[in-house]
Amino acid sequence: MPEFRLNGVRLSLPQGLATPAILGKLADGTYEADEARAADRCVREGFRVLELGAGVGYVTALCAQRTDPANVLAVEANPDLLPVIEANLARNGLSGVSLVHGAATGPVEEGATARFVVSEGFTGSSLDGKGRAVEVPLVSVHDLIRAHKPHVVLMDVEGAEADMFGRPWKCPLRFCVMEIHPKKYPPRTIKRIVDFMSAMDMTYDPVTSRGKILGFRKVWGAADAPEGEGEGAD
């Protein structure tokens, strides 16, 4: 069972779970580097974090270390990854994280499920791919937000983000960082996401944004910003 250490987080994956390309990134430290950077930027002590698409639990662990495991709610659709996430969190003394099995999406009826395609190497698994399919629960992002009231939302859900921006999120949101998938939807959908964030008094965050990683931060004044984040701060 391959073992790795990234930013102080110990990770182990079952044989055959990851492709050679993913194993190479884990070995050289570039695996989910932008997402890890965003977590380091956004997550503060006491912040509640909602992570949609937990992968192998690497960013989940970073978030739990920076705040508290009890403040982190992680959602993962791929059933193969659930024991991997749990084991990696336990390996780092972070077993208090809440882990939910399901595919996050927009509003859904209670008990709804969907066909989820598990890709080779796990990173491209999604609701609309081709390959080995399993039936998974659908989880409304609005229900998750209502229950957890996150300060930070981190999202990598392979295109499902397109359906999550129909109505305002009622939570004390400070940061939102997502990987967008422009091959799966038109530019107008990206505009809708940006407009939605703007309507919630969120603005583009150049520090967490890079490539397909799009970050937003709350527009705050000097009186209510976290330390070092007031208007005009570098």
Cβ-in-10-Å burial (0-12, 13-18, 19+) of 109 comes to exposed
pLDDT tens by residue, 128-145: 766 788 899 999 999 999
Quote the CA–CA distance of 108 and 114 in Å, as a whole number: 11
What pTM was computed for the model?
0.91
Task: For residue 179, list its beta bridge partners.
Answer: 213
| CA-atom Rg of the chain in angstroms | 17
| Domain definitions of the chain by residue range | 3-218
What does residue 150 show for φ and ψ, rounded to 5 degrees?
-75, 150
pLDDT tens by residue, 178-195: 999 998 899 999 999 999
Cβ-in-10-Å burial (0-12, 13-18, 19+) of 137 comes to middle
pLDDT tens by residue, 82-104: 999 999 999 999 999 999 999 99
Q: Assign 81 a pLDDT band (cuts: 50, 70, 90).
A: very high
Residue 124: the pLDDT is 65
In one-letter notation, the amino acid at residue 98 is S
Higher pLDDT, 231 or 196: 196
At 172, list the tokens: 């004390």
The H or E element that residue 72 is part of is: strand 72-76
Helix (H) and strand (E) counts in the chain: 6, 12
Higher pLDDT, 129 or 1: 1
β-bridge pairing 152-155 and 49-52: parallel
For residue 125, pLDDT over 80 is answered with: no
For residue 230, pLDDT over 50 is answered with: no
Quote the CA–CA distance of 170 and 145 in Å, as a whole number: 7
Shortest CA distance to 233 belongs to which of 45, 220, 160, 149? 220
Question: In this structure, which topology does domain 3-218 adopt according to CATH?
Answer: Rossmann fold (3.40.50)
pLDDT tens by residue, 157-179: 888 899 999 899 999 999 999 99
Q: CB-based contacts of 69: which residues, under 8 Å, 6+ apart?
A: 89, 94, 95, 96, 97
